[in-house]
A = this chain, B = another copy of it.
Amino acid sequence: MGCIVMLMRKHRGLFLKQPRLLVLEEVPTPTPTREAVLIKVLSAGICHSDIHRWKGEMPCPEGFEAGAGTHEVVGKVEERGEMVPEYIKEGQKVLVYFLRNYREEDKYTRRGLAHHAKTPIFIGGMQEYVLVPTYHCLISIENLRDIHAAPPLACAALTSYGAVKKLKSYVEPDDYVAIIGLGGLGSYAVQWLRILFPYVNLIGIDVKDEALNFAAKFAKIDVLINAAKEDPAKIINEVTRNDGVKAFIDFVGSTGTINTYIKMLSHLGIYVVVGTMGKEVILPVLHTLIAKEFCLQGSFMGSIQDQYEIVEFARRGLLNYSDVVTRRLKFDPVEVNRAYQDLDEGRVLGRQVVIFE
């Protein structure tokens, strides 16, 4: 029985910088042994990092030179290795948390922080069947209403959740928190803010009105700033009465955003960087960093426990994940190619998913 896979082929010929060609191919369906589980993919999400691989700017993980990416996968259990416990059942619907390496352990994995382990697992999902190396990576999503919209929970929602949780020991009632960049991650982030810290004042910042309006559908945002039209410093000074913002979450992460906004932090504040558009950061604020005792904090994905919590928020109706998915595509090279182009050229609000079944 075959498994249809969507591959990324390098173009031969003159145009080296052209994005790769997407094609379908049939390969043998793998058989799970030991702890492994074979998943029949139901839907898969498209992430910015897929664009980098598609454009040839980033190497594909080993074994995926030709794979069409996507690490956001939901599916149902097709076949189980002989060591998989009984509570993982055939037909069960699951989300794949792809960062868990259960083989080797170190101080990170022991604390449930496998996403900091040396050898993370990588799973690509643009194919009919995915072999997940251990059942420890699977989270049941049986009671989710809109399973097709669930894949971004595994990366976009997780990354934004990991960033927002970093504010836990910083924000207090009536503090101001600002989100920079209101795309897919930002739309989850404003919701996480309202779930975890409903008592803060929320500022949303973007350079497009559509993005500001899109994010505003998901949570009450107290102040919306279009940084292309308005002066953020002036507005922020005004609304915070010169106290500054207690926490920024920066999904852009360019030299420009960091240098602009870090100056608007209040005492004992935190600036969380998630986006990686910048190559280097010039902090003109060393004296301020010290006098105000603030911190610049990096954020990367989240733990398996975070992933369970996210699924739980979605199940309880606290997280609107359905409407973040603004396009549902077929498992078809032409559609996926257009989706990659649109994402690359900034024409996508929210997230796109490929529906297999």
User: How many copies of the polypeptide does the oligomer hold?
Assistant: 4
In chain A, residues 252-308, which have Cβ atoms closer than 8 Å to a Cβ of chain B? 253, 267-268, 273-274, 276, 278-300, 304-305, 308
Interchain CB contact under 8 A, B199 and A267: no
Tell me whether A116 is interfacial, beta carbon within 8 Å: yes
Identify A253's interface contact among B267, B290, B297, CB under 8 A.
Answer: B290
Q: In the bound complex, do residue A85 and residue B110 qualify as a contact, i.e. CB atoms below 8 Å apart?
A: no
Q: How far is the CA of A284 from the CA of B85 in the complex (A)?
A: 36
Contact A173 B267 (CB under 8 A): no
A66-99 vs B, Cβ < 8 Å mask (1 yes, 0 no): 0000000000000000010101000000000000
Q: Does A59 contact B (CB under 8 A)?
A: no
Binding stretch for chain B, among A23-31, A207-215, A310-318: A310-318
Q: In the complex, A6 Cα to B187 Cα: how many Å?
A: 56
State whether the Cβ of A105 lies closer than 8 Å to any Cβ in chain B. Answer: yes
Complex CA distance for A279 and B278, rounded to whole angstroms = 21
> Are A105 and B136 CB-contacts (below 8 A) given A292-B298, A316-B199?
yes
**Is A309 close to B, CB under 8 A?**
yes
CB-CB under 8 A from A199, the residues of chain B are 195, 309, 312-313, 316, 318
Q: B289 to A293, Cβ gap below 8 A?
A: no
Interface assignment of A103: CB less than 8 Å from any CB of chain B: yes
User: Which of B105, B198, B281 touches A283 (beta carbons < 8 Å)?
Assistant: B281
CA distance A300 to B291 in the complex (A): 6
- A305 CA / B107 CA spacing, docked (Å): 8
Is A267 a contact of B116 with CB atoms below 8 Å? yes
Give CA–CA (A308, B103) in the complex, Å. Answer: 18
Whether, in the assembled complex, A174 has its beta carbon less than 8 Å from a beta carbon of chain B, the answer is yes
A281 neighbours in B (Cβ, 8 Å):
281-283, 286
Flag whether A64 is at the interface (Cβ < 8 A). Answer: no
Q: A107-B308, A174-B312 are in contact. Are A289 and B296 (CB under 8 A)?
A: yes
Instruction: Please tell me if the beta carbons of B283 and A293 are within 8 angstroms of each other in the complex.
Output: no
Contacting residue for A290 out of B111, B284, B285, B298, CB 8 A = B298
Query: In the complex, what's the smallest C-beta–C-beta distance from A143 to chain B, in angstroms?
Result: 12
CA distance A34 to B296 in the complex (A): 43
Residues of B within 8 A of A292 (CB): 116, 298, 300
Given known A-B contacts A281-B286, A305-B107, A295 and B293 have beta carbons under 8 A apart: no
CB distance from A243 to the nearest CB of B (A): 9
Could you tell me the distance between the alpha carbons of A287 and B58 in the complex, rounded to whole angstroms? 14
* In contact, A287 and B276 (Cβ under 8 angstroms): yes
Residues of chain B contacted by A297 (CB below 8 angstroms) = 293-296
Binding site for B on A (CB under 8 A): 34, 83, 85, 87, 103-105, 107-108, 110-113, 116, 136, 169, 172-174, 195, 198-199, 253, 267-268, 273-274, 276, 278-300, 304-305, 308-309, 312-313, 316, 318
Show 21 residue pairs from A and B whose CB-CB distance is below 8 angstroms, ordered by the A residue.
A34-B34, A107-B308, A110-B112, A110-B305, A113-B268, A172-B309, A173-B312, A174-B316, A198-B318, A199-B312, A199-B318, A253-B290, A279-B284, A280-B282, A280-B286, A281-B281, A281-B286, A283-B296, A290-B300, A291-B300, A296-B296
Closest A-B pairs by Cβ, 10 of them? A289-B298, A295-B297, A290-B298, A173-B309, A281-B283, A296-B296, A116-B267, A174-B312, A173-B312, A280-B284
